[in-house]
Amino acid sequence: MSEFQKAIFAAGCFWGVEHLFRKQEGVISTRVGYIGGERPNPTYEQVCTGVSGHAEALEVAYDPEVTSYKELLLFFFKMHDPTTKDRQHNDIGSQYRSAVFPVDAQQEDITVRVIDKLNKKNIYGAKVVTTIEPLQEAGPFYEAEDYHQEYLLKHPDGYNCHILRRDLDFSDI
């Protein structure tokens, strides 16, 4: 049995990001939280007002024998708009930025190559502005308050601005 690996993504409001990722084959667990800011142990109120500098993010534990980091990364790029800086739909501010937080050099290399290919192919008709913030520079991932975990499972009619773009062709990325 393999050890699980971790990936961290930010793509706007973390409720919808978690809702889509948790359904992916190979994903063992998810938890929403905050990363990439200055304050230790930020609260939701500090993050959502933009004063902490953190992004709403999702930490994914996955089985590398079932799915790969690259597959999860490509899924990330299909479920949000990576061409808008500090914005996803109606959510505006750096806390809603599109960002990847590679946990090691291999994830960082894969992320750089994928973004380069997406831009060269002009998949979105605009440049990908997703930031790459290596974990060692971004700081710790702080788990969000309990009421945010699996929010859309508990509140099926809750706010969700994410849809899966099945029309995007990533076959040669």
Which residues does the annotation mark as catalytic?
13
CB 87 within 8 A of CB 13: no
CB 159 within 8 A of CB 148: no
CB 82 within 8 A of CB 129: yes
- Could you tell me which of 98, 97, 101 has the C-alpha nearest to residue 140? 101
Angle at 89 between CA 172 and CA 137, to 5 degrees: 65
